[in-house]
């Protein structure tokens, strides 16, 4: 059985590979990478590294030759070639190469999600369903690391604003999502859909957890309107394009798209998730 991981030089890919290596022989692991030079620096030299870019379907097909199972890590949005086109290239290549199973890192509640940020994932799930390939959708909620700016602000006693209201996000550590992805790859009969996430928390809950961890109470995470949030980010010098992206994230959070109530993640991991206090300490110590 050969296992391939796409976007393998990214942090998620590296974590998944390290987990697979606990069970799978290095010669049965294929890392699909855009940059072989980076791969030589961050990936184990014992695994099979193959160069291919999401924009190059023939190269992807070649890289997937002989692969039985693929962990398809979603590409980064905003490129010259749309993410949906890139993802269609990967799905087409996997089918043409004879890949038997694809685990795709999707988006929380993708069957009902409405935000712009979820659109590419919704489309990719449809591609995989239509392809005839066996699949699992790993619907990842939110990495706690995504809120690093808030964690650092609180730890430094600095105020911050958010526009997510009382919306909740199901935080877990990126390594927990990545390890779970690898474990799903190894299952004899994986489910078609996994809703992965931790205990849902609002920004107010996050602020309380940071205060408990750091002992600092001299900061406030203040709930503001979407308009006020945009003004604050713009005043802080954020690029206009990024302001729109972050405002979209806040709207998505306010709509509870990342509020996942599911035991899938700890069940697949085989243990409880890292408590929020320990997770915050882990991130701040990096």
Task: Read off the pLDDT of residues 168-205 as tens digits, 9 standing for 90 and up.
Answer: 999 999 999 999 999 999 999 999 999 999 999 999 99
- What residues form DSSP beta bridges with 106? 139
Task: Read off the pLDDT of residues 3-60 as tens digits, 9 standing for 90 and up.
Answer: 999 999 999 999 999 999 999 999 999 999 999 999 999 999 999 999 999 999 999 9
- What residues form DSSP beta bridges with 3? 29, 69
Q: How far apart, in Å, are the Cα atoms of 215 and each of 148, 157, 160, 173, 274?
A: 18, 10, 17, 22, 20
Architecture of domain 3-140: 3-Layer(aba) Sandwich (3.40)
User: Burial level of 77, CB count in 10 A (0-12/13-18/19+)?
Assistant: middle
Chain region(s) in the chain for CATH 3.90.25.10: 141-172+197-260+272-285
Query: The whole model's pTM is what?
Result: 0.96
Chain region(s) in the chain for CATH 3.40.50.720: 3-140
Q: Tell me phi and psi for residue 159, to 5 degrees.
A: -75, 160
Q: Does domain 141-172+197-260+272-285 have CATH number 3.90.25.10?
A: yes
Position 153 scores a pLDDT of 97
Position 211 scores a pLDDT of 98
- What residues form DSSP beta bridges with 30? 4, 48
Position 77 scores a pLDDT of 83
Task: Read off the pLDDT of residues 235-258 as tens digits, 9 standing for 90 and up.
Answer: 999 999 899 989 999 999 999 999
Per-residue pLDDT, averaged over 207-214, amounts to 98
């Amino acid at each position: 059985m050969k296992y391939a991981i796409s976007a393998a030089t990214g942090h998620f890919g590296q974590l998944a590979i390290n987990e697979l290596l606990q069970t799978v022989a290095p010669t049965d692991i294929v890392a699909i990478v855009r940059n072989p030079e980076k791969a030589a620096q961050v990936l184990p030299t014992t695994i099979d590294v193959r160069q291919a870019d999401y924009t190059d379907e023939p190269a992807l097909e070649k890289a997937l030759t002989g692969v039985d199972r693929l962990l398809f890590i979603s590409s980064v949005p905003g490129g010259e070639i749309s993410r949906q086109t890139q993802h269609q290239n990967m799905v087409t290549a996997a089918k043409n190469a004879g890949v038997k199973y694809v685990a795709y890192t999707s988006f929380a509640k993708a069957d009902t999600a409405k935000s712009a940020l979820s659109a590419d994932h919704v489309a990719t799930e449809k591609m995989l369903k239509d392809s005839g390939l066996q699949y699992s959708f790993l619907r990842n909620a939110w990495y706690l690391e995504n809120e690093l700016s808030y964690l650092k602000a609180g730890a430094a006693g600095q105020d911050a604003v958010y526009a997510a209201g009382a919306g909740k996000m199901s935080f877990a550590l990126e390594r927990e999502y990545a390890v779970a992805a690898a474990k799903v790859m190894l299952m004899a009969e994986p489910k078609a859909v996994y809703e992965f996430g931790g205990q849902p928390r609002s920004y107010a809950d996050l602020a309380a957890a940071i205060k408990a961890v750091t002992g600092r109470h001299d900061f406030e995470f203040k709930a503001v309107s979407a308009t006020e949030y945009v003004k604050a980010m713009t005043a802080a010098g954020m690029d206009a394009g990024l302001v729109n992206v972050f405002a979209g994230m806040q709207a998505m959070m306010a709509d509870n798209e990342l509020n996942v109530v599911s035991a899938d993640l700890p069940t697949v991991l085989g243990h409880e998730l890292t408590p929020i206090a320990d997770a915050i300490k882990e991130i701040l110590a990096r």
